[in-house]
Structure 1
Amino acid sequence: MRVVVVDLDGVDGADLALERAYERAAALDDGATPATTYARDVRAPGAADGFIGDGATAAMASRTCARAWTALRAGGTVIARGGDAARDAAVLAGFADVVVDATRGVVRGTKPAWARGTAFSLKSRAVRVVTADAGWGADADVDDELIDESALLTELDVNSTAVKYDDCDVGAGKKACKNCTCGRAEAEAAEESANAKSEETFVSACGNCALGDAFRCAGCPYLGQPAFKDTDAVGTKVELDLGDDL
């Protein structure tokens, strides 16, 4: 294992002096060290706590981290003196797991084991081709979530009868329509025939039916009709004179 230490202690803060100090560290100079030379550590401590302070020194830290990246092998570690600016420079250079050790005032980073630009082929997903004539269908062998038709109707539903309407939607109290098909016309005709027959065979029990409504019983078939003579036939028309007092 070869460790290269860039020590800037005692060097002035001028950019030129810093640049020369880095140049003297030939192991980290551009082109002086072949790539992936060092297997473990490249240490590049700064000159002082304020080394990463202004813009010039921050740029120097960025160059140092970039050179350390080139000199390190995959999995190697870089240790640089500084704070947040040195951490940012290490992250921008490509180091992973960059942490700041506040007690020692250093930044540590690891060069990832993978190489930049590494390609990895993903297994292509099989594409299902659907033909134009493929339609929706049910699998006869699969009965999941199918409803049993015998459970749709209960015994009460089976035994119940439909409601029968006898008014042809004409409303209660109205006569059957002209083209009645529900049977109301036949029912009315049968009722009228029964009423007429009952009137013909009716025999008054009280004998007051001909006297008028004032003398008739509650169930008298002549209610609502004018008074008539006992000798008149039932249903005879009565002609009234304007002089009649009803």
Structure 2
Amino acid sequence: MHNLKNGDNILIIANDEASIFNIKNKITENVKITSIPTSKIDSTDSKTSFDFIIYADNIVTGISSTVLTKILALLKPGGVFGISDVVSNFQKIEFELKISGFINVTQGDNAFLYCAKPNYEIGSSAKLNLKSKPAKAVWKIDDTIEDDMIDPDNLLDEDDLKKPDAASLKVCATTGKRKACKDCSCGLAEELAGEAKTNAVNSANAKSSCGSCYLGDAFRCATCPYLGMPAFKPGEKVQLAGSLLKSDI
């Protein structure tokens, strides 16, 4: 019999005496043998552990996962489980054994299938040495070459340091733009109205240097006095509709 030793504790699971008798006759070692029917597996005390368990019932479709789980619990760590008369459905039973926790499934002599329980018990633990040597520094601050460092003062030029004109920054607190709101009380509305009048006077006296100002903003230069006004006919007085003088806010 596969890996049997003198003094081993053997469990035979079989429903008929003839199968038990045939297996006992194959055992030549001096061992302790216990035999139970398949129906008694669940009631077997799990505190009793066996070195070798033999399942001698006729197997057609395989063994249930419940039975295999119980057998695994009855085996000692490293113990062997053997199934007799496994020929045609070896691959199916092999799969069932592996997913139940058995290892080293092999086909033995006399149509026997053997497997083993892992050499540790469920719930066992081992202390891990998590201490490790500190990693070697790849680089250090001292290794930095100062010549390659950028002086932050060189990132700004003279134009960046100029203080902006306060008038160009004045915007409406409500709109966030240089456009007065409907209920403006900060003085921006009066300021914009004054600028509009000044621009109107300048526009009335202004003369075009390019002769294209009447065509619209697309044909006007950046300093054109007519910038922002509608297109008009040459010689025509520029007038704004009443709706254009009202705030959109």
Question: TM-score of the superposition, structure 2-length normalised?
Answer: 0.38
Higher strand share: 2
Question: TM-score of the superposition, structure 1-length normalised?
Answer: 0.39
Larger Rg: 1
